[in-house]
Amino acid sequence: MENAKSKTWDEQGLNDLAAAVRAGDRASLARAITLVESRRSDHLAAAQSLLTRLLPETGKAHRIGITGVPGVGKSTFIDAFGSNLTAMGKKLAVLAVDPSSGRSGGSILGDKTRMEKLAVDPCAFIRPSPSSGVLGGVARATRETILLCEAAGYDVVLVETVGAGQSEYVVADMVDLFLVLMLPGAGDMLQGIKKGVLELADIIAVNKADQAPDQGRRAARDYASALQIMTAADAPWKPPVLSISGLLNQGLDDLWAQMQQHHKIMIKSGLFHERRQEQTIKWMWAMVEDRLLSRFRANPEVKAALPDLMADVKDDRITATLAAEKLLAHFGMGDFI
Ligand SMILES: Nc1nc2c(ncn2[C@@H]2O[C@H](COP(=O)(O)OP(=O)(O)O)[C@@H](O)[C@H]2O)c(=O)[nH]1
Ligand SMILES: [Mg+2]
């Protein structure tokens, strides 16, 4: 069997791969994902060529992001919730954005033990986080993987993140609905989750409701009033707070009903397409910024001038603005020197 990582793709190969992805062949989908994850320059071109072929078949899935602190029950939840979806006849893809997974060895894979049902479910496709380590690179690969899964006919794409660094923001920017899982315990308001994450939430679910129902209800009330303050009075969608148990599969039908309601309201208000369009434009600019910056940093003259200029800035011999100008001048982009 040919190694997808070292393969060279020609037009015929890409046509065949696109056809196999469209037909829903899992091994081909996995191979296509390996291609979009690759950073080899001929692979970058081949991946774009493949995605361009598949673009007409993309866009049709419910794209759902999930975050929550380690231990909140994400994997257990995804296994139960995902199995409910496949039992309804849906095809489900589970992806992850975990920029640290390169070091820790791929969290979702290790988690497959916690996704026992989905791991053997023919209607589910689980893919661990790409391990390139840089959030920007992981995000690009994951966005393009969403497109590939859509072309392969997956109806729901779940993107999990552990919430390291900026990863919640990155995931919220690639999905239609962002679900935040919370723990019922007192002090969780402060403990786990960064406050900004609440602002990203379209739905909050207080998990482990089986364990401490009273605490769970109290936490749900707290989050609900926090959300009420943050949500504009005329917003078409007011993020609800639900109590669930991933372990016992409680409240998950209601959660799915809320997700569908969200979808309906967002479509009706025009916000669904607006959000997707904003996301792709933002993504385009992020790619431009990434590429410009890496060109800039790789420029030999910039590299040569950098150590002295940094020392000058640190010791206040030169202003930061002037140092930036000098660096840009080395790049042929100076404005005033
Ligand atoms: N009581 C209870 N325990 C849960 C629930 N969901 C997960 N757990 C337990 O919490 C621990 C962490 O769950 P896991 O799914 O690995 O969390 P993750 O780190 O967010 O993926 C495990 O021991 C689970 O069995 C739940 O709904 N109720
Ligand atoms: Mg997990």
- Stretch (H or E) spanning 235: none
pTM of the complete model: 0.90
> Is residue 154 included in any domain, yes or no?
yes
Dist CA 284 CA 276 (whole Å): 12
CATH code of the domain containing 123: 3.40.50.300
Examine the domain organization and report whether 83 and 107 are in the same domain: yes
What is the number of structural domains in the chain? 2
Q: Are 158 and 126 in contact (CB under 8 A)?
A: no
> Is residue 43 included in any domain, yes or no?
yes
**Where among 219, 236, 269 does a domain terminate?**
269
Among 203, 208, 201, 221, residue whose Cα is nearest residue 259: 203
10 Å Cβ neighbour count for 100? 16
What is the pLDDT of the chain when averaged over all its residues?
90
Among 218, 203, 214, residue whose Cα is nearest residue 252: 203
* Residue 149 alpha carbon to ligand 1 centre in Å: 27
**What's the pLDDT score for residue 292?**
93
Q: Which residues have a Cβ under 8 Å from the Cβ of 270 and sit 6 or more positions away? A: none
List, for residues 149-193, the tens digit of each pLDDT value: 999 999 999 999 987 778 899 999 999 999 999 888 755 555 445
184 lines ligand 1 (CB under 6 A): no
**What's the pLDDT score for residue 321?**
96
Atom of ligand 1 nearest to the CA of 78: 15
Examine the domain organization and report whether 82 and 230 are in the same domain: yes
What residues of the chain score a pLDDT lower than 50? 103-106, 191-192
Among 199, 299, 285, residue whose Cα is nearest residue 239: 199
What is the distance of C-alpha 241 from the center of its chain? Answer: 22
**What's the pLDDT score for residue 111?**
60
Examine the domain organization and report whether 234 and 184 are in the same domain: yes
Examine the domain organization and report whether 100 and 234 are in the same domain: yes
Atom 14 of ligand 1, residue of closest alpha carbon: 73
- Stretch (H or E) spanning 126: strand 124-126
* Residue 25, amino acid: D
211 lines ligand 1 (CB under 6 A): yes
48: domain range? Answer: 1-56
CATH code of the domain containing 17: 1.20.5.170
* Residue 55 alpha carbon to ligand 1 centre in Å: 37
Identify the burial level of 177 via C-beta atoms within 10 angstroms of its C-beta, where 0-12 means exposed, 13-18 middle and 19 or more buried. buried
- Residue 71 zone, left/alpha/beta (φ > 0; ψ -120 to 50; rest): left
b/e burial code for range 139-175 (CB count within 10 A of at least 16 → b): bbbbbbbbbbbbbbbbbbbbbbbbbeeebbbbbbbbb
Instruction: With H, G, I as helix, E, B as strand and everything else as coil, classify residue 230.
Output: helix
Ligand having the closest approach to the CA of 98: 2
**Where among 38, 56, 74 does a domain terminate?**
56
**What's the pLDDT score for residue 102?**
53
**What's the pLDDT score for residue 105?**
45
**What's the pLDDT score for residue 191?**
47
